[in-house]
Structure 1
């Protein structure tokens, strides 16, 4: 954050090459770097939390087991008897997004879930998996869903395009929801942090005036902690719902 009069709240989302000339040649920016960091952190958390497993679990093991049970129950309760087969996928999606959301709260880090390219890629992955699961479970009957059961045949030219558009809107809404929430939260944090620096430099009463934006930023940070896990949960539960519809006969 710059101690300037102009607050550049969107500058934090700009991509820059990392790793010097190698990064420039490979177009390797902060986004893939922090995605790799997120994957490593999740794997390290699970490895350290689940091995060695103690009879009386420590805090890390308890947290890992709670996360495992939570996602497993979500998958099986929402998808049904076939939920176990999709559990690893839902588990990976949830913790990858959660790690990305929380990494962005660390100073000098980068929130890759605030980039529409990343969220669209995740949404398209979910969309593709749900289509493949549907084709495997239902075969050609999958296409029958685009014509509502019991609807008059003469309405087919109207209903089928509407159903197709509704189906294709899933990855759009899934990606925009995550992107918009994460971007908005970090913009607010940057704006109030900028206000803090501006007010602190106003002279004698500046530091006293800066207390208000500092307090707001603390509250916003706490809110972002909640939003981070909530958005990961929403993405994961919607993934489960789409998969449930895909495997239902």
Structure 2
């Protein structure tokens, strides 16, 4: 038994999910809702980066923009056009919230790609809160703006009358599933990419001069580089997808009915 235990310790042992553990910043005690953790630290850094980019980086508003101003203006234009195309002019009054949501998710995803960083959007607790804020907000907006007519969202008037009650039940279920799919999509994509990088990274330290290392180490390094580049793209795409789905849900609240 001792020999087997010793052999297991010398073998290749790695835990790709350890990078998602929530740990307190001070001490090793239990994590409560009020405990400062690595999650709260990186969320605070994300908020700071949003402020630096959108407030500090654009304070001069030069005719020839700086790099930070150019990035902020491109993000502004992207989200503004997204809202206008999906929701129409009525949705532009909600631009500040959607813009903040997009920038927070985007920068949280990007910061999570830094060495030794923590990806806050890889945790369901974070993405669920973001999704619930969207769900509750658009539902309130729908009832405030349309009153009982908001319920027309669930009544498919173009379908045959006999099928409408069944379709209404399906529509109600799909409506309340929105925050689940909205949050899991973001969390799952961010977690999966980081886990794959960690798996390939476990093979990189193999001794280069060993028979296995000569073949495995370069391949693992190339794989990490390729996946990392892909993760940069995924970080942007997932922020875009989360935001455009928010716009779609807002459109249903502003203009219910089929």
TM more than 0.5: yes
Shift of 1:158: 2.9
The whole-number CA distance in structure 2 between the counterparts of 1:135 and 1:163 is 17
> Aligned partners of 1:157, 1:207: CA distance in 2, in Å?
65
Alignment match of 2:169 (pick from 161, 168, 188): 161
| 2:235 corresponds to | 228
Q: Which runs of 5+ in 2 are unaligned?
A: 1-9
CA distance in 2, matches of 1:142, 1:243: 12
Query: Matches of 1:24 and 1:165 in 2, distance apart?
Result: 34
Task: Indicate the residue corresponding to 2:53 in structure 1.
Answer: 45
SS of the residue 1:148 aligns to:
coil
Give the structure 2 partner of residue 119 of structure 1. Answer: 127
Aligned CA distance change for structure 1 residues 145 and 180 (closer, same or farther; 3 Å): same
* 2:106 pairs with 1:132: no
Partners of 2:208 and 2:217 within 8 A in 1: no
Q: Which runs of 4+ in 1 moved over 4 A?
A: 21-25, 150-157
Which among 233, 236, 250 is matched to residue 243 of structure 1?
250
Number of aligned residue pairs: 246
Residue 186 of structure 2 corresponds to residue 178 of structure 1: yes
TM-score, scaled to structure 1: 0.91
Aligned equivalent of 1:212 = 219
Inter-partner Cα distance in structure 1 for 2:240 and 2:52: 21
Query: Within 1, Cα distance between the matches of 2:224 and 2:177?
Result: 35
The separation in 1 between residues aligned to 2:141 and 2:251, in whole angstroms, is 10
1:8-60, Cα deviation, whole Å (9 max, x unpaired): 00000111111348996732211121111100111111123211111211212
* 8 Å Cα contact 1:101-1:113 kept in structure 2: yes
1:112 positional shift: 0.8
Tell me what 1:10 maps to. Answer: 17
Q: State the match for 1:196 in structure 2.
A: 204
> How much does 1:69 deviate?
1.3
Task: Report the Cα distance in structure 1 between the residues aligned to 2:54 and 2:29, rounded to whole angstroms.
Answer: 31
User: Partner residue of 1:88?
Assistant: 96
TM-score normalised by L of structure 2: 0.88
Measured after TM superposition, the shift of residue 209 of structure 1 is: 3.5
Q: 2-side partners of 1:231 and 1:150: how far apart?
A: 33
- 1:35 is aligned to 43
**Structure 1 stretches of 5 or more lacking a match?**
none
Whole-angstrom CA distance in 1 between matches of 2:28 and 2:14: 30
The answer to whether the 8 Å contact 1:49/1:62 transfers is: no
Residue of structure 2 equivalent to 1:109: 117
Deviations 1:129-169 (A, max 9, x none): 11011112211111232222155555555333212101111
Q: Out of 225-234 and 201-210, give the one that drifted further.
A: 201-210
Matches of 2:66 and 2:167 in 1, distance apart? 55
Give SS of 1:200's match.
coil
